[in-house]
Structure 1
Amino acid sequence: MSNGLSNRSKSVIDSVLKGFPSVGRVLLFGSRAKGSYYAGSDIDLAIMDEEVSDKELLAIRSELEESDLPYFVDVVHYPSIRYQPLKEHIDRVGVVFYKKSDFN
């Protein structure tokens, strides 16, 4: 299923994530994962790794915000999510967007 992102947009996100060795796996969720996105839809990403610190999460968000991506990127730390319906949504529709092992 298409997520509506160009190869260049994917490459920008991958480049940011590769800068953080503790990030091993990231899922895409929301409308882009379900295929119900529209041209201006944001990008919802869930970092799945327990060991990612709050400081790293803030830095990832900042780098993505400062990038030239034409979309807002919402990044959540899956292990820290307390709102169960959000976790269930990610579990149900999330698709692997980034795996560190793909770049080794």
Structure 2
Amino acid sequence: MIDYAKLYGSRAKGNYHERSDIDIAVVGDNIDRFTSSALALDFADSDIPLVVDVHCFHDIKNLQLRDHIERVGQVIYESKGA
């Protein structure tokens, strides 16, 4: 179950371009790269005309990126049970 999802990167900072991708980090118990890949495929099959990159926050090894997501990331989804 996804506890919350955060938008990060240029879209969260507001310095994006028209074709900038959408970066999303998902957090929750039992969320893994397979879950994030399935979500990315759902976005790819949608009518959204941009690339949506979905990552499991706990799988991100880059500490600077994790820090960026924690500082700059904007919550775009939160489970009612979270």
TM-score (norm 1): 0.71
Alignment correspondent of 2:43: 64
Greater share of helix: 1
* 1:85 maps to which of 43, 53, 64: 64
Structure 1 residues not aligned, in runs of 5+: 1-21
Aligned residues: CA RMSD: 1.6
Percent identity, aligned pairs only, is 36
Pairing 1:35–2:7 present: no
TM-aligned CA deviation for residue 65 of structure 1: 0.9
Q: CA deviation at 1:84?
A: 0.7
Q: How many residues of Structure 1 are paired with residues of Structure 2 in the alignment?
A: 81
* Structure with bigger RCO (C-alpha 8 Å, 6+ apart): 2
Q: Which residue of structure 1 aligns with residue 78 of structure 2? A: 99
What letter corresponds to residue 82 of structure 1 in structure 2? K
